[in-house]
Structure 1
Amino acid sequence: MTTALAAADPGSPATPHRPAGGVDMRTAMSSFCTGVALITALEPDGSPVGMAVQSFSSVSLDPPLICFCPAHTSTTWPRIRAAGRFAVNILGHDQQEVCRRFAMPGADRFAGVDWTPGASGAPLVAGALATVECALEAVLDGGDHAIALGRVTELDVHREGEPLVFFRRGYGRVRR
């Protein structure tokens, strides 16, 4: 089934979230499997801050750049943005509960979560498959989300394992 986005006609029953064909954007995009990561940073007072994302990607090898896309409604994103440096913690399939905690608004996200400061000071979550430390390079407008570009400063693979993935609005794993 294919759908076309409706023109910006105020009289049209279609919206950007529900194109003319009737399938909404979330339903269509849930057919795409994504990895899950935690974006973490340290605030000026030394407190860790972090959030779960599924919109994370490598952008460029030269220079080394990554991106993630936080919602404009996020209360955590402005704190990470202000830090200017952050870490991407790529989660393993066995870290679903950690991911859920970091996805809950108002939760004490670091309670019971072991972490160590990386070279940038950003929290590196114990058990992550890999970590990517970055300096914030640019922030672009992406509709109801921002597009945060990070310049990679440090990389590490901590362990082998299956990644935690998000598919059809639920967590899963990829087996090789």
Structure 2
Amino acid sequence: MTTDEPGARIHSTDPFAVPEGEKSQVRRLRGRFAAPVTLWTTPGPAGLTVSSAMIADGDPGRVLGLIDEESDFWDAVSAAGRFAVTPLGPDDRQLADRFAGLFPSPGGLFAAGEWEQTGYGPVPAHATIWAGCTLDSSRPCGWAVLLDGVIETVRTGSAGRPLVHYRGRYTELA
């Protein structure tokens, strides 16, 4: 998941990627599903780039995400019980890489850029779309923890093109 922007890479390849010959068939299948790139943040603050996420409409609406249980985000959201989910756009590639641990973050993850402080966690100031959620439940699921959150508030502004993760790389819709 390195960025395609010239001069912005810290590695020529993803240092965390599983070598092609060692990937399971399920992982290969998962890689062929295009997924939105989102930023999950929580008071603390802590944050994580998440592409294994889904929004479920209903009363109440829900957000589901696969979260690395060893991440600082998981520790922080477990303690805070609330979090924000922000879909990212093509101009957010470095932001996505920073919160994925693939791009340097001198001074911490939230040191660069402008942030709007919310009761659910910091949200990028330029974000026109985000959801404020409370943690409802979690359980082990494959390599991660399946986080189930209740959506309490939604900001829907102008929708630009989404940043998409497909076969280990960022792309965007045409």
> Which band: TM-score by shorter chain?
0.7 to 0.9
Report the residue type matching 1:116 in the other structure.
E
Q: What is the DSSP-based 3-state SS (H/G/I as helix, E as strand, rest coil) of the residue aligned with 2:54? A: strand
Write the deviation string for residues 96-139 of structure 1: whole angstroms up to 9, x where unpaired.
Answer: 11101010078421121211122x24111123351010011111
Larger relative contact order (Cα-Cα within 8 Å, sequence gap ≥ 6): 2
Question: Which whole-Å CA distance do the structure 2 matches of 1:174 and 1:151 have between them?
Answer: 28
Normalised by the size of structure 1, how large is the TM-score?
A: 0.77
**Matched residue, 2:14:** none
Unaligned ranges ≥5, structure 2: 1-17
- What is the identity percentage for the equivalent residue pairs of Structure 1 and Structure 2? 28
Matched, 1:99 2:100: no
Normalised by the size of structure 2, how large is the TM-score?
A: 0.78
Question: Which whole-Å CA distance do the structure 2 matches of 1:153 and 1:146 have between them?
Answer: 21
Q: What is the DSSP-based 3-state SS (H/G/I as helix, E as strand, rest coil) of the residue aligned with 2:72? A: coil
Matched, 1:38 2:35: no
Question: Which whole-Å CA distance do the structure 2 matches of 1:128 and 1:29 have between them?
Answer: 28
| RMSD of aligned residue pairs (Cα, Å) | 2.1
Report the residue type matching 1:113 in the other structure.
G
**Matched residue, 1:29:** 30
Cα pair 2:120 2:133 within 8 Å, conserved: no
TM superposition shift of 1:49: 1.1
Q: What is the DSSP-based 3-state SS (H/G/I as helix, E as strand, rest coil) of the residue aligned with 1:76? A: helix
Question: Which whole-Å CA distance do the structure 2 matches of 1:55 and 1:81 have between them?
Answer: 18
Look at both structures and tell me which one has the larger radius of gyration over its CA atoms: 1
**Matched residue, 2:136:** 137
TM superposition shift of 1:63: 1.8
Runs of 4+ in 1 over 3 A off after TM superposition: none
Question: Which whole-Å CA distance do the structure 2 matches of 1:143 and 1:51 have between them?
Answer: 18
Cα pair 2:165 2:171 within 8 Å, conserved: yes
**Matched residue, 1:7:** none
Matched, 1:112 2:112: yes
- How many pairs align? 150
Question: Which whole-Å CA distance do the structure 1 matches of 2:158 and 2:111 have between them?
Answer: 23
Q: What is the DSSP-based 3-state SS (H/G/I as helix, E as strand, rest coil) of the residue aligned with 1:73? A: coil
Matched, 1:61 2:62: no
TM superposition shift of 1:158: 3.0
TM superposition shift of 1:80: 1.9
Question: Which whole-Å CA distance do the structure 2 matches of 1:115 and 1:159 have between them?
Answer: 18
